Structure 1
Amino acid sequence: MDAHLIEQWNATVGPDDTVYCIGDFCYMPGDTAIALAQMNGKKILICGNHDPMFKLMQGTQQQKEDAHGLALQCGFDDLHWQHTMRIEGIGQVKLSHFPYLPPKDAPEDQQRYLELRPKPTGENLLLHGHVHSYWQCQQDAGKPLMINVGIDVWGLRPVSEVALVSLFQKAGQP
């Protein structure tokens, strides 16, 4: 399976591309390093609950620095808990492994890690993972659009910026 995922990645990502990995990349640091060494592009990890540095990222400043060092040792180019950026055709975008807080009537399995969920802060879009194949695109009342960029809903490939802009615009966003 790893070989297929790496093949899909390299068919999508060029050597000079930058990819934001939205968490749950790999449980084991050694396995992560082996996989990343075979994958094209600059790879920036947005930490998820199944990444080896997850618990460290919730700790002291020293633990967060240790997590960053572990991410670099594994082959990532950078590590963030959340990140914001501008994408032409969308505007301000927030990246987080976790989606926004779910509605109160959401299934129980979507109610985990509530304290780690991002809060809307003026962005037009949230790119996230965590929910596997529950949805590709969702918007809850009063919140920006969320696009799940997990490979589960994208044919086991990273999602291009062009595809994200297209989906954002098809969803009727400004």
Structure 2
Amino acid sequence: MPSDFFISDHHFGHKLIIDFESRPFADADEMTDVMIQKWNAAVGSEDKVFHLGDFSFLNQERTQEIVRKLNGYKFLVLGNHDRGRSRSWWLDAGFDEVSEYPVLYKDFFLLSHEPVYMNKHMPYVNVHGHIHGQKYEGKNYFNVCVEHWDYIPLTFEQIRDAVVVSEEQA
């Protein structure tokens, strides 16, 4: 049975992110190769991946090459570095679906690039990226930036189970 996966902030082609976020790569090419391998080791061809933004800094041809190599049905929620390009640009780059806005998943998980304000009375969990190695405190936030998860997309079950454990500890 296919699974749903979540990840954000690959920054393909962004060599400066290696230093900004202390990524363990010699250069952008090694970073691209390793991140594609880790994605494909977790994600099968029938799976769906929600990428929560800041996918690529490369031109459309190079971005298409990467998207083509990645397993699964790919849904992009645009990040701050993606929004300079149109929704159709990203569809032409190979994404199956693209949203300019946050998406509600399973009526409970708000998928966005940047963390969305959630007060303590809101029942939702915000699955987000954008803040890389940082973490928001509280049971309402779940950061899927690549730096937190060894560049491996997370399954819905991994997120759900982490949120349930967090709830039980609260």
Name the TM-score class by shorter chain.
0.7 to 0.9
Q: 2:77 aligns with which of 43, 46, 68?
A: 46
CA deviations 1:18-50 (Å, max 9, x no partner) are 000000111123322111100100000000012
Q: Given the alignment of the two structures, is residue 168 of structure 1 paired with residue 163 of structure 2, yes or no?
A: yes
What one-letter code is carried by the residue in structure 2 that aligns with 1:134?
Answer: Q
Instruction: Find the residue that maps to 2:95 and give its secondary structure.
Output: coil
Q: Which residue number corresponds to residue 128 of structure 1?
A: 128
Q: Given the alignment of the two structures, is residue 36 of structure 1 paired with residue 67 of structure 2, yes or no?
A: yes
Distance 2:121 2:128 in 1: 15
Distance 1:120 1:14 in 2: 36
Q: Give the Å deviation of 1:123.
A: 5.1
Q: Given the alignment of the two structures, is residue 4 of structure 1 paired with residue 20 of structure 2, yes or no?
A: no
- Superposition TM-score, scaled by structure 1 size: 0.71
Q: Percent identity?
A: 27
Q: Which residue number corresponds to residue 150 of structure 2?
A: 155
Instruction: Find the residue that maps to 2:74 and give its secondary structure.
Output: strand
Does 30-39 or 125-134 show the bigger shift? 30-39
Q: 1:85 aligns with which of 105, 116, 121?
A: 105
Say if 1:26 and 1:162 are closer, same or farther in 2 by CA, change over 3 A: same
Q: Which residue number corresponds to residue 97 of structure 1?
A: 113
Say if 1:49 and 1:25 are closer, same or farther in 2 by CA, change over 3 A: same
> Structure 2, unaligned stretches of length 5 or more?
1-30
CA RMSD of aligned residues (A): 2.3
Distance 1:16 1:93 in 2: 22
Distance 1:2 1:158 in 2: 15
Q: Could you list the runs of 4 or more consecutive aligned residues of structure 1 that deviate by over 4 angstroms after TM superposition?
A: 118-123
Instruction: Find the residue that maps to 2:147 and give its secondary structure.
Output: helix
Say if 1:130 and 1:119 are closer, same or farther in 2 by CA, change over 3 A: farther
What one-letter code is carried by the residue in structure 1 that aligns with 2:105?
Answer: M
Distance 2:121 2:98 in 1: 21
Distance 1:42 1:145 in 2: 27
Instruction: Find the residue that maps to 1:76 and give its secondary structure.
Output: coil
Structure with larger RCO (C-alpha < 8 A, sep 6+): 2
Distance 2:144 2:87 in 1: 23
CA contact (8 A) 1:68 1:78 kept: no
Distance 1:25 1:121 in 2: 32
